[in-house]
Chain A
Amino acid sequence: MDWNILSWLIWLPILGSAVIILIPREKADTIKFVAAVATGIQLLVAIVLWTKFDSSTVGFQFQEKVSWISSLNVHYSLGIDGLSLPMALLTALLSFLCIFVSWKIEKAIKGYFALFLLLDAGMMGVFLSLDFFLFYIFWEVVLLPMFFLIGMWGGSQREYAAIKFFLYTLAGSVLMFIAILALYFACGRTFDMIEIMAIAPTALAGKLWWGFESLKVIWILFFIAFAIKVPIFPFHTWLPLAHVEAPTAVSVILAGVLLKMGTYGILRISYPMLPDGAVWFAGALAVLAMINIIWGALCALAQTDLKKMVAYSSINHMGFVMLGMSAVVAAGAKNGTNLIAAEAGLNGAVLQMFNHGIITAMLFILVGVIYDRAHHRNIDGFGGLGVRMPIYTGIVALAFFAGLGLPGLSGFIGEAMCLIGAFPVYRGIVIVSVFGILLNAAYFLWAFQRIFLGKLNEKYADLPEINRREIFTLVPLAVLVIFLGIYPTPVLDVMKTTLSHLIEIVQSSSLLALQ
């Protein structure tokens, strides 16, 4: 493209961050204004990108490729397809809204917004990079601001939460880096992801490393790296802690975008580069998905802290994404070439990634609203707030219903598609997972009842209603939840071609042939 639209998406927030660093720290309003402008333009650019995106072609669009470190064969290479576009849109939207969610931050405003924009740029970079070296750098760039944002602006246990998050995810990135190096050397010393996608399946075929098939070794390394990010049981323990300690806007980004980096990585890297691994691991992925769904829901049910409950609901919801991803094997000859199921599963997975980003953002913002007023998040500590805060209650009801997968709201469609896709292949697992939805309903409704219904807790008789700024951050999300619940086609259309191509790649895996 003529005007490097993808670079703008990444560099706008970095530019904003640099400007903020130069503004004296007393000028808090200017700092917030710059942050809002930078992310606002970024959102506009992302929307323009969406309108210009041609959803009927396979492959990457708006590509940019410049030699960066020639002696290491590293390129600055960007591109977008139907998988990364929804993620880029989600990132831009949530980053923009989160600037307003953070409006009342008081401590070290300058540092906060500078880091926040850096985080935004890093996430965008992860979704747009097509060079492994660049991808890894952005992956790590995301980690650092997050570490500071949790550790400096978080709650009472913030230091422990930040370090745990940092070391956990860094362990994952290091494993990922080993896997990247393995691919680099196996595929003729290139970091170009498109090239590796083309070469890797043949380059790795039949290679043994220390008695293991090389592609399985690489798959496992990548999988652990992404599993920590998603997080997939048993790597999920950092998540509730980090979520609870992080400030509201950071929780929103963490759950809304960062978790998607994990599933995005699996779909962008593991599936097309290691299709045999994808098929080999699909069963295990489905089982892990089931554990995530049930375990996440059960843990959420047991929480007394509202934010922790929402955090565990993320683990549950990401389980559906994984279940949908495992459905890709349905397309194989071995499983009856059920293309419809595979498509439903994959499309459902990506749709669920997008929808969960929206819904969980709403949930966290809403938790933040009540925490700002009552200064605690104990579910049993409220009661009857519905009388006192009718608007707030209404929005919470919408978010909770979306979270529990009520038909007509966006959460339902993604989850249903994931379940439908996986059903022909993993019948038992799907049946168990459906109970997860039931449990979802249980904890959301139970929490709703305890907080908003019943007799008004006298302590909160004069709790102020949700204000305009907060409503402003929630309205776009609420509109999307309802709109995509009724008419998900705009998002599905974008990803369809790309995911069909992905299914074809996995279909070609020898493991799926009839013996």
Chain B
Amino acid sequence: MDLSLYFTRQDLWGILPEIVLLVGALIILSIELFARSQRAAMLGVGILSLVIAGGFASKNFGSSFILFQGMVTLNDYSTFFDLLYMTAGIVTMVISYNYLERKGGETRGEYFALILFATMGMMLMTRGNDLVIIFLGMELLSLSLYVLVGFLRHDVFSNESAIKYLLLGAFATGFFLFGAVLVYGTTGTTNFQHIASAITNNEILSDTLLSLGIGLLLVGFAFKVALVPFHMWSPDVYQGAPTSVTAFLCTAPKAAGFGALLKVFLVAFPALHADWQDLLWALALLTMIVGNISALVQTNVKRMLAFSSVTHAGYLCIGILVLNEMGVSAILFYLLVYSVMNLGAFGIISLLEKEEKGVNFKDYEGLASKHPWLSASLALFMLSLAGFPPTAGFVAKYTLFSSAISEGYIWLIIIAILNTLVSVYYYVRLIVNMYMRTSEETLVPFLHPLLSVVIFILAISIMFFGVLPGWLIDTVTQAARIYT
């Protein structure tokens, strides 16, 4: 059989990072098979394959390709996301080191392999230029995550969250698939550009069905990125999942969800912007407010951060509303900064956790006097999440909100800014517990040189991108420009 009929050498070069990840995952699984106790080796292979894949992916920066007859596009937009996922993957692997053991579980090779598979899935989601590819990527991602979430198999909460995530996630995928089917039925194609041209040339079978399809696609995405009212799964899953997995779950897949959402709505349906903008407006508003108010009353730090990430998804929705390069670049900037802050925060929480302790606000009392550097880093991540200058969180919020104001969404931004104000309370509560209260017994962190270095880098980058964001802003502007 002559394969060159189906794909070219260029296609294969394009998906080289995915291939590297696949090979890496297979190597890890083989190690697991023959030398189960070699956890450090599995971790090493995992990180190494992410680094190599990242190296190949970053070579694409500045150029763009259309691969597999338009199924996949490679450009600065997708490359930006590729690197984001890989960074999140590496950090997740580092903070996973010895974590499951501390929680009474066992790290198996599958754990690392699944993170690699999930990364592949996410890459397909933002590289995809076709509803089918997006769907494939989403499934690959979700299936890996379902297993990862339930990885503490002796823990009831972990099991509960895995089941919950599986059931609701399956529903969401169903919605997405049905939406894709309706779009295909009305436009006759699943390729984004063809859908867009079908809409502009008015070659649609039924307007109603197309709208329904778009609505269902939106519901599917809303589930994945946890927009209110489709967010119910996220606090339970974030809380029940191993914290190292939560760190991954709330950063990279969320970025992938938004990346794919942006791509679908901006490439395939830009002509219908007027139709879906009211819907997104309402979603953004609801998500910000409900997320915020729910976060206010939490006693569990992981749950608080879960609701806080719901709130951040609400802010990000504002960026999608904006629908111009400025909005897209603001979203990219925000997603990156958001990922760094959350990886840092969950990373620190995970290394403070031991058995039952380390996840409640109360456990953090008096931490600062024993572990000043760790507390300072966690405080920095909290302040950045709250959008406090001069951290990167402030610049992220600023670029996002100002892009929306220049498009005239003034009321939405005023509400968003007031929401930011409310959110400060729950972030600062953690700081108050660490710094202004004292306690007999404080948490004992599991500190490992590699872990310390990673947390240090995350913290420094939050400060760096807050004080000197110029380079990153230019990068995301470039990533946003080539895409549209």
Q: Are B432 and A181 in contact (CB under 8 A)?
A: no
Distance of A88 from chain B, by nearest CB (Å) = 21
B215 within 8 A of A: no
B474 and A144 contacting across the interface, CB-CB below 8 Å: no
Min CB distance A418 to B, Å, is: 34
Most buried by A among B432, B468, B477: B432
The 9 A-B residue pairs whose C-beta atoms are closest, nearest first, are A151-B436, A137-B389, A71-B473, A159-B436, A140-B389, A174-B421, A69-B470, A137-B390, A152-B435
Instruction: Confirm or deny: B383 has a beta carbon within 8 angstroms of a beta carbon on chain A.
Output: yes
B424 interfacial contact with A, CB 8 Å = yes
CB proximity to B under 8 Å, residues A158-193: 158-159, 162-163, 166-167, 170-171, 174, 177-178, 181, 184-185
Q: Does A141 count as interface, using CB distance less than 8 angstroms?
A: yes
Contact with B along A126-140 (1 / 0, CB 8 A): 000000000011001
CB distance from A71 to the nearest CB of B (A): 5
Of the candidates A68, A108, A136, A174, which one forms a contact with B420 in the assembled complex, judged by CB atoms under 8 Å apart? A174
Chain A interface SS verdict (over half): helix
Determine whether A72 belongs to the interface, using a CB cutoff of 8 Å to chain B.
yes
Contact assessment for B436 and A158 in the assembled complex, using a CB-CB cutoff below 8 Å: yes
Could you list 19 examples of A-B contacts with CB < 8 Å? A71-B470, A71-B474, A72-B398, A72-B399, A72-B473, A140-B388, A141-B389, A159-B432, A163-B432, A167-B425, A170-B424, A174-B417, A174-B418, A174-B421, A178-B414, A178-B417, A181-B401, A181-B405, A184-B402
Nearest CB of B to A152, in Å: 6
A152 surroundings in chain B (CB, below 8 A): 435-436
Which residues of A sit under 8 angstroms from B360, Cβ to Cβ? none
User: Could you tell me which A residues sit within 8 Å of B by CB distance?
Assistant: 68-72, 108, 111, 136-137, 140-141, 144, 147-148, 151-152, 158-159, 162-163, 166-167, 170-171, 174, 177-178, 181, 184-185
Does B474 contact A171, Cβ atoms closer than 8 Å?
A: no
Interface digits, B369-387 against A, CB 8 Å rule (1 contact, 0 not)? Answer: 1001000000000010000
Q: Which residue of A lies closest to B433 (CB)?
A: A159
Contacts of B473 in A (CB 8 A): 69, 71-72
Contact A167 B477 (CB under 8 A): no
B406 within 8 A of A: yes
Measured CB to CB, the closest approach of chain A to B159, in angstroms, equals 38
Separation in Å of the A131 CB from the closest CB of chain B? Answer: 13
Contact A144 B383 (CB under 8 A): yes
A159 engages B437 (CB within 8 Å): yes
Identity of the chain B residue whose Cβ is nearest the Cβ of A177 in the assembled complex: B417
Given that A69-B473, A178-B414 are known contacts, is A185 also in contact with B432, CB under 8 Å in the complex?
A: no
B469 interface residue per 8 A CB criterion: yes
Min distance, Cβ B383 to any Cβ of chain A, angstroms: 7
A71-B477, A185-B406 are contacts. A170–B436 as well, Cβ < 8 Å?
A: no
The answer to whether A111 and B372 have CB atoms under 8 Å apart is: yes
Chain A residues in 8 Å Cβ range of B406? 185
Q: Tell me, in angstroms, the Cα distance from A224 to B127 when the chains sit together.
A: 48
**B205 interface hit (Cβ, 8 Å):** no
CB distance from B334 to the nearest CB of A (A): 14
B:138-164 near A, CB below 8 Å: none
A140 to B417 Cα, complex, angstroms: 15
Complex Cα gap A111–B383 (Å): 18
Complex: chain B residue closest to A162, CB-CB: B436
Q: B397: shortest Cβ distance to chain A, in Å?
A: 10
Contact across chains for B369 and A166 when beta carbons are under 8 A apart: no
Do B470 and A185 have beta carbons less than 8 Å apart? no
Instruction: Judge whether B428 is part of the interface by a CB distance below 8 angstroms.
Output: yes
- Is B424 touching A167 in the complex (CB atoms < 8 A)? yes
> Once bound together, how far apart are the Cα atoms of A181 and B428, in whole Å?
25
Chain B residues touching A, majority SS: helix
A144 to B463 Cα, complex, angstroms: 15
CA distance A184 to B402 in the complex (A): 10
By a CB distance below 8 angstroms, the chain A residues around B435 are 148, 151-152
Which of A162, A177, A178 has a CB less than 8 Å from the CB of B432? A162
Partner-A contacts on B (CB < 8 A):
369, 372, 383, 388-390, 394-395, 398-399, 401-402, 405-406, 414, 417-418, 420-421, 424-425, 428, 432, 435-437, 468-470, 473-474, 477
A108-B369, A159-B432, A159-B437 as given contacts; A170 in contact with B421, CB under 8 Å: yes
Minimum C-beta distance from A477 to chain B (A):
31
CB neighbours of A166 from chain B (8 A): 424, 428
A71 to B, closest residue via Cβ: B473
Excluding A72-B398, A72-B473, A152-B435, 7 further A-B contacts by CB distance (< 8 Å) are A69-B395, A71-B473, A141-B389, A151-B436, A162-B436, A166-B428, A178-B414
B421 x A171 contact (CB < 8 A):
yes
Q: Chain A nearest CB: distance from B391 CB in Å?
A: 10
A148 to B380, CA, bound (A): 13
Q: Kindly list chain B residues whose C-beta atoms are within 8 Å of the C-beta of A170.
A: 421, 424
Taken together as a complex, chains A and B put the C-alpha atoms of A181 and B389 apart, in Å, by 15
User: B474: which A residues are within 8 A, CB to CB?
Assistant: 71
* Bound: A147/B436 CA distance, A: 10
Contacts of B405 in A (CB 8 A): 181, 185
> With the chains together, A202 CA to B369 CA distance in Å?
54
For the complex formed, measure the closest distance between the CB of A83 and the CB atoms of chain B, giving whole angstroms.
24
- Docked Cα-Cα span, A163 to B405, in Å, equals 30
Residue from the set B399, B420, B470 with the largest chain A CB neighbour count within 10 Å: B470
- Closest-CB distance, B479 to chain A (whole angstroms): 13
The smallest beta-carbon distance between A289 and chain B, in angstroms, is 28
A136 to B435, CA, bound (A): 25
| Minimum Cβ distance to chain B for residue A157 (Å) | 11
C-alpha gap A182/B435 in the complex (Å): 36
Contacts of A72 in B (CB 8 A): 398-399, 469, 473
Instruction: Closest A residue to B373 by CB, please name it.
Output: A21
Contact between chains at A70 and B389 (CB < 8 Å): no
A181 in contact with B402 given A111-B372, A136-B389, A162-B432 (CB within 8 Å): yes
Across the interface, which residues of A come within 8 angstroms of B394, CB to CB?
137
Chain A: minimal CB distance from B178 (Å): 41
Partner of B390, one of A111, A141, A162, A171: A141
How many angstroms between the C-alpha atoms of A3 and B414 in the bound complex? 42
Chain A residues with CB under 8 Å of B436's CB are: 151-152, 158-159, 162
Q: How far is the CA of A141 from the CA of B466 in the complex (A)?
A: 13
CA distance A111 to B368 in the complex (A): 11
How far does the Cβ of A70 sit from chain B's closest Cβ, in whole Å?
A: 6
Q: Determine whether the beta carbon of B388 is less than 8 Å from that of A70.
A: no
B369: chain A residues at CB < 8 Å are 108
Assembled-state Cα–Cα distance A168/B474 (Å): 35
**Distance to closest chain B CB from A208 (angstroms):** 14
Question: When chains A and B are docked, how far (Å) is the Cα of A70 from the Cα of B469?
Answer: 10
User: Complex Cα distance A332/B95, Å?
Assistant: 67
* Smallest CB gap from A147: residue in B: B428
| Cα(A439)–Cα(B434), bound, Å | 43
List of B residues within 8 angstroms of A71 by Cβ: 470, 473-474, 477
Query: In the complex the two chains form, what is the Cα distance from A184 to B405 in whole Å?
Result: 11
Which residues of B have CB within 8 Å of A163?
428, 432
**Complex: A185 Cα to B437 Cα, angstroms:** 43
Return chain A residues, CB-CB under 8 Å to B395.
Answer: 69
Could you tell me the distance between the alpha carbons of A171 and B425 in the complex, rounded to whole angstroms?
A: 11
A105 to chain B, nearest CB (A): 15
State in angstroms the CA–CA spacing of A349 and B418 once bound together. 33
Could you say which of A71, A144, A159, A184 has the most chain B C-beta atoms within 10 Å of its C-beta?
A71
User: Measured between C-beta atoms, what is the minimum distance from B97 to chain A in Å?
Assistant: 28
Write out the residue numbers on chain A whose beta carbons fall within 8 Å of the beta carbon of B468: 69
Q: Residues of B contacting A151 with CB < 8 Å?
A: 432, 435-436
Question: How many Å from the CB of B474 to the closest CB on chain A?
Answer: 6
Kindly state the separation between the CA atoms of A185 and B399 in the bound complex, as whole angstroms: 13
Kindly provide the distance from the CB of B463 to the nearest chain A CB, expressed in whole angstroms. Answer: 12
Which of A144, A158, A167 contacts B388 (CB under 8 A)? A144
Distance, CA A178 to CA B402, complexed state (A):
10
Q: How far is the CA of A174 from the CA of B421 in the complex (A)?
A: 7
Chain A minimum-CB-distance residue to B435: A152
Complex Cα gap A140–B418 (Å): 16
Q: How far is the CA of A152 from the CA of B428 in the complex (A)?
A: 14
Closest to A185 in B: B405
